[in-house]
Amino acid sequence: MLYYREDKFDETAKWLKYVLGFLRTVGVTGLAALLLSPLLKQINEETKKPKIVVLQDKSLSISNEEGQSFASALDNGKSTLEENFEVSYYDFAEAVALQADSIENNQTTNISSALQYVYDVFNGQNLGAVVVASDGLYNEGKNPLYSTNQFKAPIYTVGLGDTTIRKDLIVKNVLYNRIAYLGDKFNVQIDVQAFNAAGSVSRLTISQEQGDKFVALKNETIRIDKNQFFDTKTITLDASSPGISRYRVSLGKVDGEQTTKNNYQDIYVEVLDSRLKILVMANAPHPDLATLNDILELNKNYEITVQYAKDKKSISGYDFYVFHNLPSRAHSINSVLTQINRAKSPRLFFVGAQTNLNAFNKAQNTLTIRGNNATQNDVQPLLSRSFTSFNLSDNTKSKLNQFVPVIAPFGEYAEGPKTSTLLYQKIGSVETKYPLLSFSDDNGIKTAVMAAEGIWKWKLFDYLQHKTFDVITDLIDKTFVYTSVKEDKRKFRATVAKNIFKENENIFFDAELYNNAYQLINDPDAFLTIKNSSGEAFEYTFSQTGNAYSLDVGRFPAGTYSFSAATNVNGESLTQSGRFTVESIQLELFNTTADHSMLRNLSEENGGKFYYPDQVQQLVQDMSEDSSIKPVVYATTNTKPIIHFKWLFGLLFLFIVLEWFMRRFYGHY
């Protein structure tokens, strides 16, 4: 409209008005349109090939020849496969790894874990198919048939290994307790299996490693009466020496047996010498002694010896001392107390009518009794509400206050400065603050005092009222446990996570360092040296984590190892040593016959097919022709304001400047 009415351009060429009008129209219209903030929607399409995941079993049950045979057959069809599909190659055994990476542990097979890995990684992607090349044998994880319900892609399987059942004897399974106590007996249950060996006779032997050889402990004859043979034997062994003992369960070879690798299993049993050797020393025979002996013998970790002060027997070699009516007027036991004070051994005093109270007060700092024990009080137990050192069972708490009286000396009672009292005396109906059962810890010496005699009455009363000895047993057992526990005062402590590891487990160490105030520190470096049975040493440095130390030394071959941890604080060298054992894993040797039926079922239930290694080309062709394995077109929509396009700014700017330039050039403003 501007240039239509403009007469200044009448003398110029006619086209000039139209050009200038066009430039102004486009520029102004473009600017006006941008004020409306228009959006541009752009749709991009991308076609992606279906993904094929190939899982190859690399466990010990698959020979190198079988694995290479499958790999070679797959290589021949690789070009066709990768032309149509995006292919990922994985190896699996215990874990899953890309074929470019190495499998760290191939001593177990976990097929279900490998399939779960594929689902976790490729879920939501265009997964066309999964190919599993295996012998069908698994010894970890759940049955693969129950782990593929979530799969939407077909699973094709390739059967590796030999399905021929050969003559073979197998130590199939060994059940046993990993921990036994010194002097106890423990059972070893052995499952023996045999194939195609009817009429053969073998010998089952359990041997113990002693030095660098195995010494036979027990033998049993195994008579195999059918080709599919299975039998279970139970053998009892003695835990005769403390520490970790290695035993070998083995079957003798029979004629025609091709392999004996699965004819044995090694087991490791940790024998603990945790028995608490208790010496009960009495002034004279008393029914309390029988009560203590009967209750303590219920705990296999206690070894009880009873003797009298007049016997003058050796008192060395014991961990806990019980003094009944001692010291007395006839026996001061000063020499005994001197010896056990030097060793800081825990002790328990029973005070009675024969106790010399003056000597008793000097013998310990837990409780002071001033009086004449010629006069006695009948006292009942009264449970303290403020005692927190250990807890009795709810059953004991509810019934203990009802127990019959025991006999305590008449006098004045005073607790020591470090004493805590569990039971007070109830005299008649009067609840007193006279201690009956008290505990103290004085310079590392733990002492318990039962200020009465006659606990045999409690045992009889417990059975008469409740038909059990649970209350009196709970009281005495926890008294001994609490008093016998020694506080660990070491400034440097290094421990291994457990004493027995498997070959496929990482071995972890922890260490703690305390300063003189027993506060955790980890400023100085701490070092660890591990030695195998051959004396070869492996050195490490602990990592500093928080206020302590930790270390993962990885995996070690089967064998027995010793370790020594060390650090240095202000010129003081601190060390800690110990031992651990790594047991071998023989799961891959138990079954040497491939299970192709499992692979067939796996494929049938998941829309795939089963193939042999020489049919890999057919597998590649079938997947290429499978109409259900299709590429997927992914469309993405990108929306953004037009004003963000820089080229549009340049174009509008060009139109406006060009119009301005032409107006000036032709002499009009």
**Domain CATH number, residue 419:** 3.40.50.880
Which residues neighbour 427 within 8 Å (Cβ) at sequence distance 6 or greater? 377, 378, 379, 434
| Domain-located, residue 254 | yes
| Of the candidate ranges 8-22, 257-271, 429-443, 641-655, the one whose mean pLDDT is the lowest | 8-22
Kindly state whether residue 8 falls inside one of the protein's structural domains. Answer: yes
Query: Of 433, 458, 484, which residue is a domain's last?
Result: 484
Measured over the CA atoms of residue 458, residue 459, residue 463 and residue 469, the dihedral's sign is: positive
Query: What is the residue-wise DSSP string for 217-252?
Result: EEEEEEE--SSEEEEEEEEEEE--SSEEEEEEEEE-
Residue with tokens 């094709």: 156
Condensed to tens digits (0 to 9), the pLDDT of residues 516-568 reads 878 899 999 999 999 998 889 999 999 998 899 999 999 898 888 999 999 99
Judged by average pLDDT, the poorest of 104-108, 116-120, 122-126, 187-191 is: 104-108
548 compared with 668, residue with greater pLDDT = 548
Q: Domain check: are 402 and 291 in the same one?
A: yes
Confidence of residue 589 (pLDDT cuts 50, 70, 90): low
Q: Within 13 Å, how many C-alpha atoms sit on residue 434's CB side?
A: 23
Same domain, 349 and 449: yes
Residue 636 lies in a domain: no
CATH number of the domain where residue 257 is located: 2.60.40.10
Residues 14 and 98 in one domain: no
CATH of the domain at 103: 3.40.50.410
pLDDT reading at 1 higher than 80: no
The last residue of one of the domains, among 484, 513, 529, is 484
- Asked if the model's pLDDT at residue 315 lies above 80, the reply is yes
3-state secondary structure (DSSP) of residue 663: helix
Q: What is the mean pLDDT of residues 123-139?
A: 89
Is the pLDDT reported for residue 285 higher than 80?
yes
Structure token digits, residue 450: 């039962």
Q: Are residues 408 and 478 in the same domain?
A: yes
Contact criterion met (CB below 8 Å) for 118 and 53: yes
- 635: in domain: no
Least confident of 163-167, 278-282, 450-454, 508-512: 163-167
CA nearest to 589, candidates 254, 250, 269:
250
Q: How confident is the model at residue 592 (pLDDT cuts 50, 70, 90)?
A: confident
Is residue 512 located within the same domain as residue 432? no
Q: Do residues 364 and 458 both lie within one domain?
A: yes
Q: What b-and-e string marks burial along 405-442, b requiring 16 or more CB atoms within 10 Å of the CB?
A: bbbbbebebebbeebbbbbbbbbeeeeeebbbbbbbbe
Question: Is 556 a member of any domain?
Answer: yes
Band of pLDDT at residue 9, cut at 50, 70 and 90: low
Q: Span 31-51, mean pLDDT?
A: 86
CA distance 613 to 133: 9
pLDDT, tens only, 402-417: 999 999 999 999 999 9
CATH number where 527 lies: 2.60.40.1930
State the average pLDDT for the chain.
Answer: 88
Kindly state whether residues 555 and 473 are assigned to the same domain. Answer: no
State residue 489's pLDDT score. 75
* Whether residue 103 is found in the same domain as residue 206: no
pLDDT value of residue 10:
66
Same domain, yes or no: 371 and 282: yes
Query: Is 509 part of any domain?
Result: yes
Contacts of 37 (CB under 8 A, 6+ apart): 641, 643
Q: Is 13 a member of any domain?
A: yes
Residues in the chain: 669
Whether the per-residue pLDDT at 105 is higher than 60: the answer is no
Cα distance from N-terminal residue to C-terminal residue, the chain: 17
* pLDDT single digits (tens) 83-92: 888 889 999 9
Nearest CA to 53 among 98, 118, 114, 102? 118
Local confidence band at 100 (pLDDT 50, 70, 90 cut-offs): low
- Does pTM top 0.85 for this prediction? no
Distance separating alpha carbons of residues 305 and 291, to the nearest angstrom = 13
pLDDT of residue 84: 86
DSSP reduced 3-state for 94: coil
Q: Are residues 499 and 396 in the same domain?
A: no
**355: DSSP letter:** B
Assigned domain for 589 exists? no
**In the predicted structure, residue 3 carries a pLDDT above the cut 80:** no
Q: Tell me which of 151-165, 445-459, 549-563 is least confident.
A: 151-165
- Asked whether the beta carbons of 117 and 96 are under 8 A apart, the reply is yes
Domain containing 555 equals 492-583
pLDDT at 172 over 60: yes
347 and 431 housed in the same domain? yes
Distance CA 513, CA 511 (A): 7
Domain count, the chain: 5
Residues contacting residue 442 through CB under 8 Å, at least 6 positions apart? 365, 366, 416, 418
- pLDDT for res 306: 94
Whether 268 and 327 share a structural domain: no
Per-residue H/E/C for 102-147? CCCCCCCCCHHHHHHHHHHHHCCCCEEEEEEEECCCCCCCCCHHHC
Q: How confident is the model at residue 364 (pLDDT cuts 50, 70, 90)?
A: very high
d(CA 42, CA 53): 34
Phi, psi torsion values for 275, nearest 5 degrees? -70, 135
The DSSP bridge partners found for residue 370 are 412
Domain boundary residue, one of 484, 512, 531? 484
With beta carbons less than 8 A apart as the criterion, state whether 323 and 348 touch.
yes
pLDDT class for 217, splitting at 50, 70, 90?
very high
